[in-house]
Amino acid sequence: MASMIRKQSVKPKVIEQTRPSREEAQDAVSTLLRWAGDDPTREGLRDTPARVARAYEEWFSGYKIDPEDYMKRTFEEVEGYDEMIVLRGIRFESHCEHHLAPIIGKAHVGYLPSNRVVGISKLARVVEAYARRLQVQEKMNAQVASCIQRVLNPKGVAVVIEAQHQCMTTRGVHKAGVTMVTSTMLGAFRKDPMTRREFLTIIGNPASSLDG
């Protein structure tokens, strides 16, 4: 009985989160403007809190989306096609969860279909859905790959993301022109070096494509 009590006592509490109202969000922006040293009531800043609230609705709209919904409509009439499918250069804008600074980059997504494929725009929408959340690049990389793997159940999934982080270029060490590259390889892309090499050859040199 004592051991059961101890186990129950360490159970974490579930905290209910209530979304603030738009007015509360705008008040928070006004507070930040005052903290930065400016006057939110002056003409140039008077509408800024409302503008920021609307921008947040767009930047973080991914929280309202289930990316798996994009992948559920698939096609099986592909005449037995089972070779690699790659969508490269999917541009995205996200925000760093540590500083709320922009992350701007491109994703390259590939998979080896088993018996069904998905419309190519859906792959881009999955990237977009995860990007429009507060993110860490490594986490976003894994989320995109796992979503495709769960829904399509292909022979393998590969996702490479390259991005520039404004939390590094505009603050801190102030190092501009630095690109972070991450990758997630599942199934055949992880097990078969030739498959992985073919994918990397198709997407080319990731870092150079950020300038396009």
User: Which tokens belong to 48?
Assistant: 């800024």
Q: How many angstroms separate the CA atoms of 86 and 73, rounded? A: 18
**DSSP run (H or E) holding 140:** helix 137-152
Q: Map residue 181 onto helix, strand or coil.
A: strand
Side chain identity, residue 17: Q
Q: 138-168 burial string, b = 16+ CB within 10 Å, else e?
A: eebbbbbbbbbbebbebbbbbbbbbbbbbbb
CA 42 to chain centre: 36
Q: Which residues are catalytic?
A: 96-99, 137, 165, 167
